[in-house]
Structure 1
Amino acid sequence: MSSTFEMDENGLCIIRCDPPVNGSDSFVFQPEVIASWKALLGLASAREAIAAIMQGREDMRRYDPKTGRGVWTGAFEALESALADSATGVSMLADDGEVLDDPLTAVRNKTREGMRLPLMSNEIDARMRAALTADGSDAEASSGIDVACTRNIDGLDEFLNDDSNKNMLDECEERFFASLMPPIKEG
């Protein structure tokens, strides 16, 4: 029994799980999904995003067919708003690096709850940001997603550690954030 990861000729990430994870024997997604889950759920790494993809189960009762609003809607809106605020100089970080009561974290937690994933406190968010910005830190940053399901997937570590794949995932993330940024007004 072993699980495998591969990227096919169409650029799809394919994880075949043996034994099944969360009732699924495979997961297929584009690399852009890793970037969007990271941003929308406040995840620390591509590994955490992949673990969340494998463990998340959307609560379909939260979908409103009249408005089209679902589990992800609030996270998109909050991130878009936060990016607009950052473009105008508003920051959710205190001078000492502490995360202030962050409405984005609150909305991300609603989305996490709707995906049946662990919630993130402001304290965990602050620790994760500190770990991400620490130079030479051996501690792996975590937003609370259990990554154990990703540890023994043949090929995943090679994918995540390959510099060209890291660059590709960074580019996916840049495109995702750019798609949510307010247009630049020329003036």
Structure 2
Amino acid sequence: MLSATFEMDDNGLCIIRCDPPVNGSDSFVFMPDVLVSWKALLGLASTREAIAAIMQSREDVSRYDPKTGRGVWTGAFEALEAALSDSATGVSMLAADGEVMNDPLTAARNKARGGMNLPVMSNETDARMCAALTADGSGVEASSGIDVACTRDVEGLDDFLSDESTLTMLDECEERFYEALMPRQNQQN
């Protein structure tokens, strides 16, 4: 049985300590900004999914190209930047019936997921997740396919995830993340 605790230290680091180790690690340490970037780059449905992905992932370092500096995350960053540029001009990959068309962002996210040894997401899963995230009061917990069971018994995590100041901080992290990726022409004015 997993015994795990979550805390946020005075420096803003999120720390999860596990006994026995999860995926070979007895602790996970990350900044809240990491949760936001993992959600966006991997197409995750929730902060809980981001934490579960961090706990379960193993980066395939053989995918790093030292000549170009390209790694597991590069394509996901580029696809997200392109999607944000396209959305600024009104292009959408969502069909009228809610189905996500063969979307380069989903493909790039899946490549990054594969490089992190996480399950990939079908277009159908992406569409269901988008529908669940936009439904008001549906009671359906959105999932992109990451098993969150490893987070259920982490002492202190539910309090962190439901705390208003945490939610505000994560919203601010998300704003900074997306602002950094938005097309630059409007920021020059």
Matched, 1:9 2:10: yes
1:146 to partner: Cα distance: 0.3
Paired residue type of 1:102: D
Shift of 1:96: 2.3
Structure 1 length as normaliser, TM-score?
0.97
Q: Give the structure 2 partner of residue 126 of structure 1.
A: 127
Q: How does 1:1-187 map to 2 (within 5 A)?
A: 2-185=3-186
Sequence identity of aligned pairs in percent?
78
AA in 1 matched with 2:117: R
Q: For each residue in 1:99-147, what CA deviation from the matched residue of structure 2 results, as whole angstroms up to 9, or x when unmatched?
A: 1111100010000000000000000000000000111111110000000
Q: Aligned Cα RMSD in Å?
A: 1.1
TM-score between both structures, scaled by the size of structure 2: 0.96
Q: Partners in 1 of 2:5 and 2:23 — Cα distance? A: 16
* Paired residue total: 187
Q: Determine the C-alpha separation between the residues in 2 that align with 1:125 and 1:174.
A: 22
SS of residue in 2 equivalent to 1:101: coil
Cα shift readout 1:54-104 (whole Å, capped 9, x = no counterpart): 111100100000110000000000000100111111111112222111110
Shift of 1:183: 1.5
Q: Secondary structure at the match of 2:137?
A: coil
Shift of 1:177: 0.8
